[in-house]
Structure 1
Amino acid sequence: MTSLIQVLAVAEYLNFRHAANALGVSQSSVSARVKTLEENLGVLLFERHARGVRLTQAGRHIIEGIAAALDQLDHTIRTAGMLARGERGHLRVGVHALIPGGFLSTLLRLYREQYPGIEVEIIEDTARDGLTQLRTGRLDIAFVVGVPELSDCHSRRIWTEPLVAALPDRHPLASQTTVAWTDLARETFLVRHGGTGPQVYDHIVLRLAGRCYAPSILRFEVERSTILSMVGQGFGITITGAATSLATTSGVVFLPVVDEPEPITFSAVWSPFNRGAALRNLLTIASKMDWPYGSSRPDS
């Protein structure tokens, strides 16, 4: 590497003494290294004359190649450093939903602003499918409802939201400030097959268990926004995290469920084998975020 740098310096200054002064080494050292390189290559790089040197045709070709190679090496080294710091690369994130103004959408916006060199890929799916993709290496991190206890994955509580009921604005309960599960027991619930739908379904069944009649739950293969639109049209009601109310939905009111024992917890899950800086930087931003409903800030 030293010989190549000295050859480039001679090619730039076309003078051994000037090249040596620029590099802070002796002229004899530069001359010796250039001569050794020429002998090893079997090619004369410079034509020597009294006032300096001149590149030969073969020397010009080799110098161009050396310069290009060193530029590529420099780029490779800088890129490797950026990858190691999490400033370049790719991050695949599994989510249950992205609500404008919600924790996840805010987190990803902040992350992309701070690390514009990271390509963020968003995959929306159920928690079960997200964990499957995580285990098979198709996701770097998944955000799920609850606090999963997984022997093969790391997890961390990230934020919480109160549970709210979404009702049509013309519903008899819509004028109340809150509702209880007993108020909702005879309602028809609308639930998605995808996203957090399976967990919402299980939660409704759990809360209304032990009654003399089974809860009425209709499941649909639609997006979250469609479920809320159906609520607004009077098809039924649904339950969701309070952040959903940040997205205005025509004809829908959101009321806190007062007898819900605790807010909904959302966790991040990732593979213990993933020690990438891109993932670590995302978790760091998440741990420092202010969130009106509540966040979990790890001690370490």
Structure 2
Amino acid sequence: MSYFLTVAEAGSFHRAAAALDIGQSAISRRIQKLEDTLGVSLFERRPSGARLTVAGECFALRARLIMDEVNFAVDAARSAGIAKNGHLQIGIIASLSAGPIRTLLQRFVERHPQVEICLLETDRSELMTMLSHRRIDLVCVSGEPDYDDFDKLILAKEHVFLGVASDHPLAIQTALAWSTLSGQRFIVSAREPGPEIHDYVIRQLSDLGRSVKVRRHRLGREGIMSLVGLGLGVSLVTDHWRGLSYPNVTFVPIRDEADQIPFSLVWRPENDNPALRRFISLARIEAKKNGDPS
């Protein structure tokens, strides 16, 4: 069909052959075969060139429309293949106010602005269920998830901070040790990542043989920080939570340098979404920058 359109545009088999850089006889054979298949003559062949017949004009009109659609489809497929467009659906259990996940998303958007990104925040179990059924492409979670059926990448490890009311005695400290926190009332969310913070606090203080007071509230991170600011307790955060300021809340680092919480990416290995593959490639580069070559 492309040969036919080239001859129609050039008005000559000779000029079409020169434009396509092939022999004129090859074009003539292709056009003759097409005419035999259609059962009509498409060109009036003259010494001065080739002129479309009435049937040829009708065929050329339809052929151009078809070729335009084919070219559009090819361009769309190639663009998706290099993540120029397409979709990427990401489940998160983290704040995007700061930290490695925000940095990764920002750099991906800068490189692939035409990729439509959809973010979803909910409980870990629901996100993993959605990932299993390919309803989302990727999940960003805290910790080092142990899922045999998924690919995983530790993006970064973040230091732990204690969120306290700004008028709390601990707020003036430059750093804190776990041994000084046993008498504090910790408040966490009943939703993600609250349960994980709860387990982390229990583990740290129980190892020291200290009593632990933890209260759960059915609030998101904003609500928990509001309770901290009101002096109703303290709570743990990592670096990426500190991108936002909360009324009357101060963040004090935990002294132990070994206290770092990893943040990981999880995805299905058979997912061939080109946008996902580009995202993972960029994530591996960011992970190396963050000091974790895994």
**Normalised TM-score (structure 1):** 0.87
Q: Which 10-residue stretch deviates more, 209-218 or 30-39?
A: 209-218
What's the counterpart of residue 297 of structure 1?
293
Distance 1:201 1:295, change over 3 A: same
Q: How many residues align?
A: 294
SS of the residue corresponding to residue 194 of structure 1 reads coil
- Aligned pair partner of 1:180 in 174, 177, 180: 177
The letter for the 1-side match of 2:171 is A
What's the counterpart of residue 163 of structure 1?
160
The letter for the 2-side match of 1:101 is A
8 Å contact from structure 2 (residues 97, 242) kept in 1: no
- Aligned pair partner of 1:46 in 43, 47, 61: 43
SS of the residue corresponding to residue 179 of structure 1 reads coil
Distance 1:275 1:37, change over 3 A: closer
Question: C-alpha separation between the residues in 2 aligned to 1:243 and 1:289?
Answer: 15
The answer as to 2:136 corresponding to 1:139 is yes
The answer as to 2:105 corresponding to 1:108 is yes
The answer as to 2:186 corresponding to 1:189 is yes
What's the counterpart of residue 263 of structure 1?
260
Q: Deviations over 1:23-56 (max 9, x none)?
A: 2333333333323312211223223445333323
RMSD of aligned Cα (Å): 2.5
Question: C-alpha separation between the residues in 2 aligned to 1:257 and 1:30?
Answer: 77
SS of the residue corresponding to residue 148 of structure 1 reads coil
The letter for the 2-side match of 1:66 is A
8 Å contact from structure 1 (residues 165, 256) kept in 2: yes
The offset of 1:87, in angstroms, is 3.2
What's the counterpart of residue 67 of structure 1?
64
Instruction: Calculate percent identity across the aligned residue pairs.
Output: 31
8 Å contact from structure 1 (residues 124, 195) kept in 2: no
8 Å contact from structure 2 (residues 139, 267) kept in 1: yes
Q: Deviations over 1:156-177 (max 9, x none)?
A: 2110111110000011211111
SS of the residue corresponding to residue 178 of structure 1 reads coil
Question: C-alpha separation between the residues in 1 aligned to 2:48 and 2:29?
Answer: 18
Question: C-alpha separation between the residues in 2 aligned to 1:213 and 1:16?
Answer: 92
The offset of 1:230, in angstroms, is 2.3
The offset of 1:122, in angstroms, is 0.9
8 Å contact from structure 1 (residues 103, 291) kept in 2: no
8 Å contact from structure 1 (residues 167, 237) kept in 2: yes
Distance 1:288 1:274, change over 3 A: same
The offset of 1:213, in angstroms, is 8.1
**Normalised TM-score (structure 2):** 0.89
Question: C-alpha separation between the residues in 2 aligned to 1:240 and 1:108?
Answer: 21
Distance 1:117 1:208, change over 3 A: same
Distance 1:210 1:290, change over 3 A: closer
Distance 1:21 1:74, change over 3 A: same
Question: C-alpha separation between the residues in 1 aligned to 2:293 and 2:288?
Answer: 11
Question: C-alpha separation between the residues in 2 aligned to 1:267 and 1:26?
Answer: 59
Q: Which 10-residue stretch deviates more, 237-246 or 74-83?
A: 74-83
Q: Which 10-residue stretch deviates more, 138-147 or 182-191?
A: 182-191
- Aligned pair partner of 1:122 in 104, 119, 123: 119
Distance 1:214 1:57, change over 3 A: farther
Residue ranges of structure 2 left out of the alignment (5+ in a row)? none
Question: C-alpha separation between the residues in 2 aligned to 1:19 and 1:238?
Answer: 75
